[in-house]
Each structure stands twice: as structure tokens, then as C-alpha cells.
Amino acid sequence: MNNLITIAVDAMGGDGSPLKVIKGIIDHQSKSKNVFYRIFGNKNEILKCIPKNFKSGCFEITHTDEKVIGSDTPLGAAKRGKNTSMWLSIESVKKKESDIVISAGNTGALLVIAKLNLKMIENIDKPALSALWPNKKGMSVVLDLGANIECNDKNLIDFSIMGSSLFKSLFPEQKPKVALLNIGSEELKGNEIIKETYQKLNQINNDDFEFKGFIEGNHLMDGDVNVIVADGFTGNIALKTAEGTANFITGELKKAMTGSLIGKVSSILNIINLKKFKKRLDPRFYNGAIFIGLDSPVVKSHGGTDFIGFSNSLNVCEKIVKGNLIEKIKKNIS
């Protein structure tokens, strides 16, 4: 095959694994032909999930009985040993046997084991956890979502460059527009670190992204910017708030549409629009957080997602490799 992409897959992480992981691989493979999957985990359990008609030439299983569990602390997961499916899958990209790694397992463990195995990109001090969010005009990249509670101005500038590189890798036809998440849009608002970052980003003459200043939380979904930067504390709160709001809206809408005869009739009449609305807020279609700043990309699938969500995370992996994310970051950060 030409341009073959190899994805290292931790098959044992998250709820319902390895079944949901293998079903996700099968779903992804049906749409993407030039991908090879290096699967790490219990071979006997994995083989039970693979149908006989699935192409044997597109995957390889590396057996291990060891796995990181959800209750492990990050340090405990690292101490569990180098034979866990998570460690072996990350080691696969370290050895350049795979282009990218994905796991639906313990987030803290994944970040620690990745940092133990992989080097930082030169001139970057801290890696960041980023993800895709829907907005009115398409998608946004948001970072940091919890990897770094405290950040200085250089970290936030690095996040701006890395987030822009990620956005350009995923959406090559669009220009990244960067904004700093803040308590106000005026120059004088915010703490000293974010105000200093604002001044420095304003002075950067960069063709790779356009700096749009500050953005407030109530404008995150407007779509006027597509790369939103924050420290990990602020970004994680914003993420959890957005997830909770989306769940509240869909839950209340479901109750309103099924709680009375008028509601049921209305839901039947609006079934097409309701399906569009549900799909727009379905977290499975935005599944796949990306740990960036290391010299190999690491993708975290949500532990509670189903095989459709995992398949979408694999699609993110494919786009990242095709978009030459690491090369873009190295070029832009220099």
C-alpha cells in the first residue's frame, strides 16, 4: 500500500473493551483503506471480537495479559510495569513502529506513561491536552484541558502555536484563528499572565494563524475563532461545563417531547430537525482528545464512549498523521 498509516491501539482501556475497540477498528477500516492497526492486549479476548470475514492483513496483535485499570493512579499505572497494553502501544510509536497511538484507558496514566516514553518537541516546555468542540460554523480546537493546572505566558503562546498546527492538520482548507479564554474581551481584563500573553501574541508576525484577542466563555460556540487557548484549570472547567450543558439540553428536550401527547405529536412532526440537533450535540462525533507537545502524537478516546466514538477517534488519528502535525509544530515553534 502507498502512504500506509500505522496506528498503535491499546485494546484494553475503557469501558466495554476490547469489544468496542475492535468494533471501532472494523467500522473505521470500512471507510479507510490505507491504515494498519497494531493492536495491544489479551490476544484470546481480542480474537473473540474479530469476525472471520475481517481482513487479516490490516492488523497485528501483540499479546499481553497486563493492562492499566481505571482505578490506577498515574504513578501506580507506571509502576504496574512495561508489559501493559498501554505502555506497549506507546512504546510502539517510540520505536517508530507506529505513527500514532490511541487509548480509551486511564487519562492520567496515559499522560504519565507517554511522558516517560516520548521526548518533548524542542523549545516546548509543557505538553497540552486538546480536543475538538462544535461551534456554529464548524469545529474548534480547545487546549489545555487539564494537563497543566498552572501555566506561564510562554506555555500559553506554545499552546497557541500547537493548537493552530493541530487545527491546520485536521482542517487544511481553513486558517486558524486564535483567542485566549478570559473573563472579558477588553485588554485590561484578566490576570497578569494572560495579559502578558495577549501583548506578546499581538506582536508575533505569524502567517500560520491569526490572533483574535480574548474570548469569553459565552462566545466559545460562536465560531468567530477556531483555536481557543487556556491554562489546564480554566480549560477543564470550561470543558466540563459545556458537556454538562449539552447533556442538560438534550435530556430536557427529550422529556418535553415525550412527556405529553402534544409533545409526542410535535416530536413526530419535527423528527428530521430533532435528529440533526441530536447529532450536533452527540459527543461521539467529537471524541478524541489529543496530547500534543511530545515528538509523537497521542490520542485519548473517552473511556465511556461506544464503538462509534472510538471509530471517530481513529479517524482523528488518521487526519493527524496525514496532516503532518508533528512536522507543523516543529516548523512553527522554531
Indicate where the chain has its CATH 3.40.718.10 domain(s).
Answer: 1-122+293-334, 125-284
- Pair 188, 195: CB distance under 8 Å: yes
Whether residue 274 has pLDDT greater than 70: no
Residue 1 banded pLDDT, cuts 50, 70, 90: very low
Q: How confident is the model over 133-182, as pLDDT tens digits?
A: 888 888 899 999 988 999 999 999 999 999 999 999 999 999 999 999 99
Does CATH number 3.40.50.300 belong to domain 1-122+293-334? no
pLDDT of 279? 61
Q: The pTM is what?
A: 0.86
Residue 278 banded pLDDT, cuts 50, 70, 90: low
Q: How confident is the model over 295-334, as pLDDT tens digits?
A: 999 999 988 888 999 999 999 999 999 999 999 999 988 7
- At the fourth CATH level, which superfamily is domain 125-284? Isopropylmalate Dehydrogenase (3.40.718.10)
Percent of the residues in the chain that have a pLDDT greater than 90, as a whole number: 60
pLDDT of 186? 85
